[in-house]
Amino acid sequence: MVFSRPNTKQQQLSPESFEGAAGIYVHIPFCQTKCPYCSFVSYQDVNANIKNRYMRALRQQARDMSKHPWSRARKFHSLYIGGGTPPTVDMSAMADFVTACLDGFDFTAGSPRAPEITMEANPNTVNKTMLEKSIEAGINRLSIGVQSFSDAMLKGIGRKHSAQDGIQAVKYARGAGFTNISFDLMFGLPGQDLESWKKSLEMAVELAPEHLSVYELTIEESTPFADQVRQGRLNLPDEDATLSMFELAQEILSARGYAQYEISNYALKGFQCRHNINYWENGSYIGLGSGAVSCFSGVRIQSEEDPQRFINMIKMQQKPFKEAEFLPLYARFRESVIMGLRMTKGVSISLLEKQYGVTPQKYYGETLESLLKQKLLEEKDNRLRLTKKGLLLANRAMVQLV
C-alpha cells in the first residue's frame, strides 16, 4: 500500500532565523493506560472532570507566562504539545489552550511563516473529529506514536493499539489536511529480530511520513520492564542485534530520502523538527503543565508533577514549580557539547568559544584527543561531530564528556 505525500510548501527555516528565539513545551500527563516501559510523567484512569480542570489551569498558566517580562522580550518559533497522550483531553479545551498561547506569546520568529505547532498522539486516539479540531486550532504537525507495525511487538510492549491503527491514523491525518507527520518507531523490543524490524521500517516508509524518530527501547528504573529484566523474564535482543537494527534504520531510511539529522531522528528535506533542534542546541524553552521543565537564562525549573497539585497551585496563584536549579557556566558548556553532538552536524567550535569563552579542545584536553583517535569524534570545518562509528556508539563517547 502506498500513500503519496501531499504537495506542500512547508519548508524548514534555517537555524539562524531563530537566534535568540525560544520554544514552548506543553505537558499533558494523561494516558489511556500506562505502558510497562514508560518513565514519563503520565497517569491513567483520570476522570474527565480533572482533565477539564487541568486544561483550564494550563490555559491560565499560559496567560500568566506570556505576561512575564522574559516572554514579552522574546519571539517564539514552536509549540510542542507532548505527554502523556494529548488527545485524551477534550479537544475543544485543547483548541482554547492553543488559542491562548497564540494570543499571548509572540510567535513571529522566522516570520512570515507559521510557527511549528506539534501535537503527539497515539494511533488509537486519532480520529476524524480530533484531527479536524486540531487543524482548526492551528496544530500543523502530528507526531504519531506508532512504535511498530508488528502486532506481536506492540503487544509485547503493552501498547493498546494495532499495526492497522497506525496505518489508519496516517490515512485520517492526511485526509484532515496534515502535511507534516512524524512517526515514533522503537527497536530492541522483546522478541524482536532484524527481519521483524525491517518490516516495520519498510511499512513506515511506505506510509511516507515527513519525519521519523527511531528510538531503542531503554529500560528505565522503577518500571515493570525493569522488574522483568531483573527477574530474567524479558527476552531482549543483545547489543550486536540492536546495533544492527540501528544500522538497518540508517540504511533503509537514507535510501528513501530521509536524512539522519540527530542520532534518533530522520527527516525529509525541510521537515526537521524545529522544537527538538532548539532543545539539542541548548536553546531556551518554557515548559507548561505538570511535570514540564523550563530552561532559560541559565536556570532550569522543574514543575510540580502531580496534576491535582498543579491545578491547585495555579488556582491559588502560586508558581507551580517544584525546584529550580541555576546552571553554572561550565555545566551549560558541557550540556551544549553533549546535546549538540547528538545532531549529525555536531557543534560549532567557534560558537562555543564565543558563548562560553572556552573551546572543547581546551576544556576536555586529552579526553577529547582520545575520542578523536578512536574515531568516535571528528573535527572538520570548525565543527566537532560524531563519526559514523560514533553515532553507533554515541553513549561510549558521551559518557566521557559529561
The CB-of-282 to ligand SF4 minimum distance in angstroms stands at 24
Give the interface with ligand SF4 as residue ranges (CB under 6 A). 31, 34-35, 38, 40, 42, 83-85, 122, 145
- Residue 91 Cβ, how far from ligand SF4 at the closest point, in Å? 17
**Looking at beta carbons only, is 34 or 389 nearer to ligand SF4?**
34
Residues 6+ away with beta carbon under 8 Å from 258: 205, 212, 266, 267, 268
* Nearest Cα to Cα of residue 322 among 302, 336, 342: 302
Q: How far is the CB of 87 from ligand SF4 (least distance, A)?
A: 11
List all residues 6 or more positions away from 53 whose beta carbon is below 8 Å from its beta carbon: 311
C-beta of 217 vs 252, nearer to ligand SF4: 217
Strand, helix or coil at 297?
Answer: coil
Distance CA 37, CA 225 (A): 5
Closer CB to ligand SF4, residue 30 or residue 279?
30
Cβ-based nearer residue to ligand SF4, 162 or 387:
162
Shortest spacing between CB 150 and ligand SF4, in angstroms: 17
Other Cβ atoms within 10 Å of 160 Cβ, number: 15
Residue 21's contacts (CB-CB under 8 Å, 6 or more residues apart) are: 74, 75, 76, 77, 109, 110, 283
- The minimum distance between CB 148 and ligand SF4, in angstroms, equals 13
Cβ-based neighbour number of residue 3 at 10 Å: 13
Q: Measured from the CB atom, is 34 or 345 closer to ligand SF4?
A: 34
Query: Smallest gap, in angstroms, from Cβ of residue 184 to ligand SF4?
Result: 9
Of 66 and 85, CB closest to ligand SF4 = 85
- Minimum distance between the CB of residue 98 and ligand SF4, rounded to whole angstroms? 20
Contacts 24+ apart (CB under 8 A), 30-33: 30/54, 30/83, 30/84, 30/85, 30/88, 30/89, 30/307, 31/83, 31/84, 31/85, 31/88, 32/85, 32/88, 32/122, 32/124, 32/125, 32/160, 33/158, 33/160
Nearer residue to ligand SF4 within complex by CB, 66 or 264 = 264
